[in-house]
Amino acid sequence: MNITPGPLLGKIETPTDLRKLSKEQLHEVSEELRQFIIDVVSVHGGHFAASLGVIELTVALHYVFNTPYDQLVWDVGHQAYGHKILTGRRDVFHTNRKYKGLSGFPKRDESPYDTFGVGHSSTSISAALGMAIASKYKGEADRQHIAVIGDGAMTAGMAFEALNHAGVANANVLIILNDNCMSIDPNVGALKEYLTDITTSPTYNKLRDDVWHMLGKLPIGKRFTRDMASKLEASLKGVVSSSSNLFEALKLRYFGPIDGHNIIKLVDTLQDLKDIPGPKLLHIVTTKGKGYALAEKDQTTWHAPGLFDKITGEIFKKVVETPQPPKYQDVFGHTLIELAELNKTIMGITPAMPSGSSLKFMMEQMPDRAFDVGICEQHAVTLSAGLATQGMRVFCNIYSSFFQRAYDQALHDVAIQKLPVVFCLDRAGVVGEDGPTHHGAYDIAYMRCVPNVIISAPMNEEEMRNLMYTAQLPTMQQPFVIRYPRGQGVMPEWRQPFKEIKIGTGRKIRSGKDIAILSLGHPGNFVTEACKELLADGLQPAHYDMRFVKPLDEALLHEIFSEFDKVITVEDAAITGGFGSAILEFMAQHGYKASVRILGIPDRIIEHGKPEDLHRECGYDATGIAKVAREMLKDKITVTA
Ligand X SMILES: Cc1ncc(C[n+]2csc(CCOP(=O)(O)OP(=O)(O)O)c2C)c(N)n1
Which residues would be at the binding site for Mg ion (CB under 5 A)?
150-152, 180, 182
Do the annotations mark residue 124 as ligand-binding? no
What is the nearest approach in angstroms of Mg ion to the Cβ of residue 299? 9
Q: Write b or e for each residue in 273-301: b if 16 or more Cβ atoms lie within 10 A of its Cβ, otherwise e.
A: bbebebbbbbbbbbbbbbbbebbbeebbb
Q: Do 544 and 556 meet the contact criterion of CB atoms below 8 Å apart? A: yes
Using CB under 6 A, pick the residue from 53, 356, 458, 580 that binds ligand DXP: 356
Do the annotations mark residue 69 as ligand-binding? no
Do the annotations mark residue 377 as ligand-binding? yes
Do the annotations mark residue 439 as ligand-binding? no
Residue 41 to residue 52: CA distance in whole angstroms: 11
Residue 163 to residue 611: CA distance in whole angstroms: 37
What is the nearest approach in angstroms of ligand DXP to the Cβ of residue 146? 20
Residue 280 to residue 461: CA distance in whole angstroms: 50
What is the nearest approach in angstroms of ligand X to the Cβ of residue 286? 8
Residue 482 to residue 339: CA distance in whole angstroms: 15
Q: Which stretch binds ligand DXP (CB under 6 A): 54-62, 255-263, 426-434, 450-458?
A: 426-434
Complex with ligand X: residue 189 or 479, whichever CB lies closer: 189
Nearest-CA neighbor of 190 among 379, 348, 40?
A: 379
What is the nearest approach in angstroms of Mg ion to the Cβ of residue 301? 15
Please state, in angstroms and as integers, the Cα–Cα distance from residue 273 to each residue in 132, 164, 226, 256, 325, following that order.
15, 21, 9, 11, 54
Complex with ligand DXP: residue 431 or 457, whichever CB lies closer: 431
**Which DSSP symbol is given to 591?**
T
Which is catalytic among the residues 405, 427, 448, 483? 405
Tell me: does residue 486 bind ligand DXP (CB under 6 A): yes
Q: Is residue 603 classed exposed, middle or buried when 0-12, 13-18 and 19+ CB atoms within 10 A define those classes?
A: exposed
If DSSP codes are grouped into helix, strand and coil, which group holds residue 98? coil
Binding residue count for ligand X, defined by CB under 6 A: 20
- CA neighbours within 13 Å on the CB side: how many for 10? 5
Complex with ligand X: residue 149 or 530, whichever CB lies closer: 149
Q: Do 478 and 393 meet the contact criterion of CB atoms below 8 Å apart? A: no
What is the nearest approach in angstroms of ligand DXP to the Cβ of residue 608? 11
Sign of CA dihedral 356, 361, 362, 368: positive
Nearest-CA neighbor of 171 among 180, 163, 181, 179?
A: 163
Do the annotations mark residue 544 as ligand-binding? no
Alpha carbon 583 to its chain's center: 31
What is the nearest approach in angstroms of ligand DXP to the Cβ of residue 311? 25
If DSSP codes are grouped into helix, strand and coil, which group holds residue 586? helix
Residue 442 to residue 573: CA distance in whole angstroms: 6
Complex with ligand DXP: residue 287 or 397, whichever CB lies closer: 397
Q: Is 377 a catalytic residue?
A: yes
Nearest-CA neighbor of 352 among 304, 397, 289?
A: 397
> Considering CB distances under 5 to 8 angstroms, the limit depending on partner class, which of ligand DXP, Mg ion, ligand X, none binds residue 486?
ligand DXP
Do the annotations mark residue 150 as ligand-binding? no
Which is catalytic among the residues 97, 288, 550, 597? 288
Nearest-CA neighbor of 145 among 123, 168, 113, 172?
A: 172
Q: Do 490 and 523 meet the contact criterion of CB atoms below 8 Å apart? A: no
What is the nearest approach in angstroms of ligand X to the Cβ of residue 355? 10
Q: Do 73 and 115 meet the contact criterion of CB atoms below 8 Å apart? A: yes
Tell me: does residue 50 bind ligand X (CB under 6 A): yes
Residue 244 to residue 242: CA distance in whole angstroms: 5
Complex with ligand DXP: residue 181 or 583, whichever CB lies closer: 181
Tell me: does residue 48 bind ligand X (CB under 6 A): no
Considering only residues 286-305, where is the footprint of ligand X by CB under 6 A? Answer: 288
Q: Is 161 a catalytic residue?
A: no
Do the annotations mark residue 119 as ligand-binding? yes
Per the document, the length of the chain is: 641
Do the annotations mark residue 624 as ligand-binding? no
Which residue has the CB atom at the shortest distance from ligand DXP?
A: 356
Q: Which amino acid is at 285?
A: V
Considering only residues 6-35, where is the footprint of ligand DXP by CB under 6 A? Answer: none
Rg, the chain, Cα only: 27
Residue 581 to residue 284: CA distance in whole angstroms: 50
Biggest CA–CA distance in the chain, Å, is 91
Q: Is 405 a catalytic residue?
A: yes
> Considering CB distances under 5 to 8 angstroms, the limit depending on partner class, which of ligand DXP, ligand X, Mg ion, none binds residue 393?
none
Do the annotations mark residue 429 as ligand-binding? no
Binding mask 105-144 for ligand DXP (x = CB under 6 A): ----------------------------------------
What is the nearest approach in angstroms of Mg ion to the Cβ of residue 258? 16
If you count DSSP H runs as helices and E runs as strands, how many of each does the chain have, helices first?
A: 26, 17
Complex with Mg ion: residue 271 or 286, whichever CB lies closer: 286
What is the nearest approach in angstroms of ligand X to the Cβ of residue 104? 11
Using CB under 6 A, pick the residue from 78, 253, 290, 360 that binds ligand X: 78
Considering only residues 138-177, where is the footprint of ligand X by CB under 6 A? Answer: 150-153
Considering only residues 375-434, where is the footprint of ligand X by CB under 6 A? Answer: 375, 402, 405
Element (H, E) at 212: helix 202-216
427: left (phi over 0), alpha (psi -120 to 50) or beta: left
Which is catalytic among the residues 377, 461, 463, 571? 377
Using CB under 6 A, pick the residue from 52, 162, 240, 352 that binds ligand X: 352
Using CB under 6 A, pick the residue from 32, 434, 461, 463 that binds ligand DXP: 434
DSSP 288-339: TTTT-HHHHH-TTGGGS--SB-TTT-PBP----SSPPPPBHHHHHHHHHHHH
Q: Which residues contact 200 (CB under 8 A, 6 or more apart)?
A: none
Residue 219 to residue 221: CA distance in whole angstroms: 6
Q: Which stretch binds ligand X (CB under 6 A): 4-12, 74-82, 308-316, 456-464?
A: 74-82
What is the nearest approach in angstroms of ligand DXP to the Cβ of residue 398? 12
Complex with ligand X: residue 71 or 183, whichever CB lies closer: 183
Do the annotations mark residue 292 as ligand-binding? yes
Using CB under 6 A, pick the residue from 64, 148, 169, 184 that binds ligand X: 184
Active site residues: 288, 377, 405
Which residue numbers belong to the known binding site?
A: 78, 119-121, 151-153, 180, 292, 377
Q: Which positions touch ligand X (CB under 6 A)?
A: 50, 53, 76, 78-79, 120-121, 150-153, 180, 182-184, 288, 352, 375, 402, 405
Applying CB under 6 A, the residues found at the interface with ligand DXP are: 76, 78, 184, 304, 356, 427, 431, 434, 486
| Residue list for the binding site for thiamine diphosphate | 78, 119-121, 152-153, 180, 292, 377
